[in-house]
Amino acid sequence: RFEPLFKDKKKTWIGQNTKYDLLLLKWYGIELAGDLFDTMLAHYVIEPDGKRSMDLLSEKFLGYEPVSIEELIGKKGKNQGNMRDVELEKIRDYAAEDADITLQLKQVFAPLLKSREVEKIFRDVENPLVKVLVDMEYEGIKIDVDFLKEYSKELEKEAKKAEESVYKQAGVRFNLASPKQLGEVLFDKLKLDSSARKTKTGQYQTGEDVLLKLAARGHVIADDILAFRELTKLKSTYVDALPQLINSKTGRVHTTYGQAVAVTGRLQSNNPNLQNIPVRTDRGKEVRKAFIPRDGKHVLLSADYSQIELRIVAAISGDKNMCKAFKDGTDIHTATAARVYNVEEKDVTKEMRYKAKSVNFGIIYGQGAFGLADNLGITRTEAKEIIDNYKTQFPGIQKYMDDMINYAREHGYVETLMGRKRWLRDINSANFTVRGFAERNAINSPIQGTAADMIKLAMQKVHAAMRKENMQSKMLLQVHDELVFDALKSEAKELKPLIIECMQSAMPLPHKVPVIAECGEGKNWLEAH
């Protein structure tokens, strides 16, 4: 009897976390045709920081404390009941209260969206994305379980080898997973660093940054410890865990996207988190081999933006030299090195390009001479000289950084090209460290946020174009600047240019800085990427 309502395109469906509701309905073959007004997303763009459960929002904005789910089924834990055991009258009242509060929140948030000037980001970016994410989460992706089983054995063997190498060099067996014992071995027994620092608890610091520095000084034991950590984490977090997450009904893994979590606007992938699979190491990349097409008639496509954050930096800052490099199609790091070192591009060495790349990515996140020197293993004097030359050759970048900080101090926020706002309450703090953190956010939030907005708009555009063409191929995953598709082989040739066109035209950048997207295909995710 509700079917006519679901098909009514004039209806606006109001809800709190509508993605969950729409996904539940989709599992039963029901899709809503109307527009959405998601109160959780409304609050997200109004106040990106903090939590936003319905109960919290009700107490904060309505001054009303709703009936807690725990009053019906008990507190979380093994003894918690379920709604099947609750009296129908209580469920009725609970559900009616939820609906009533959600409507009241909508009436509070609608004018706030206008007064805070974030209606556009809500209307054009976040709300329409809900249905796209519902389809992606519903589809899931197939996993090659046999490959993971074999890879797990390989990782276990390599981890054991690295572990034994550590014990041999240390001259003692200990719990390698214990930071306390590891610190004592490295710095008390082996005395690898006389200036090693301890934490507040009295333990030596043994984080990745510490081990990388030891490795750079030629201490092989540090390399083996890093290898052991990577191998065991890959094995436990992904290789052994992924098969356990396969849905028994679909035979596929279905990640969940958190749309209202990251203050920058980025999506978060959970259970499993597919955004944290290491891609900078060969071992990490191998995990992507486990993600495969649904059957022999399909192939995986992977499309991603090329250096999108640097392109956004050029576009927002309007720096003439950086904009020109992108317009000319020059390798941006080579072009940067040529200017910083005052040489012709053909004379730029690999080392020059590497250092220029580090500056390109580091300076917009507030990296100074100390950080660059530490990162590149060079003197602070050389690092300062590189940064000074960079600022001279790309004056628009420094102006952008200064302008953003000053704007944040005056207005209390910064925003993306689409109008997504990041409120910076500590921008005028008297505490140097606290203020410095806010200043770095003032610089990088418009960049990261604009990149997040762009990929979200691209997802909507691709989704709509595929539906318009009645394609059977499906968009499955989003990993920051990358989209993954399960493409019917007969549609792949047509789908590739469609994806690229949609991604490149999703959000034209100022100063005509070109947006470039690339698309590959393969029998697994690694091959496609």
Give the Cα-Cα-Cα angle 525, 523, 129 (nearest 5 degrees): 45
**Lowest model confidence (mean pLDDT) among 100-104, 371-375, 385-389:** 371-375
Q: How far is the CA of 425 from the CAs of 57, 374, 401, 438, in angstroms?
A: 20, 30, 18, 8
Nearest-angstrom CA–CA distance, 38 and 459: 19
- Whether the upstream peptide bond of residue 272 has omega within 30° of 0, thus cis, is yes
Is the per-residue pLDDT at 279 higher than 90?
no
Q: What pLDDT is attached to residue 500?
A: 98
Q: What pLDDT is attached to residue 100?
A: 95
Q: How far is the CA of 378 from the CAs of 212, 299, 375, in angstroms?
A: 15, 45, 8
Residues 319-355: tens digit of each pLDDT: 999 999 999 999 999 999 999 999 999 999 999 999 9
Share of the chain above pLDDT 90, in %: 80
Read off the pLDDT of each residue in 130-149 and give the average, rounded to a whole number: 97
Q: What pLDDT is attached to residue 462?
A: 98
- The two tokens of residue 313 are 């930096």
The amino acid sitting at 471 is M
Q: What pLDDT is attached to residue 1?
A: 58
Read off the pLDDT of each residue in 239-257 and give the average, rounded to a whole number: 96
Quick one: pLDDT band at residue 2, thresholds 50, 70, 90? low
| Cα atoms found within 13 Å of the Cα of residue 496, Cβ hemisphere only | 14
Q: What pLDDT is attached to residue 373?
A: 86
**Which of 512, 346, 522, 365 minimizes the C-alpha distance to 448?**
365
Asked if residue 102 lies in contact with residue 54, where contact means CB atoms within 8 angstroms, the answer is yes
Predicted TM-score (pTM) above 0.85: yes
Say what the alpha-carbon torsion angle 75, 77, 83, 86 is, to the nearest 10 degrees: -50
| Pairing relationship of beta strands 12-15 and 35-38 according to DSSP bridges | parallel
> Which are the contacts of 160, defined by CB distance < 8 A and separation ≥ 6?
none
Read off the pLDDT of each residue in 116-143 and give the average, rounded to a whole number: 97
**Which of 21, 46, 47, 52 minimizes the C-alpha distance to 34?**
21
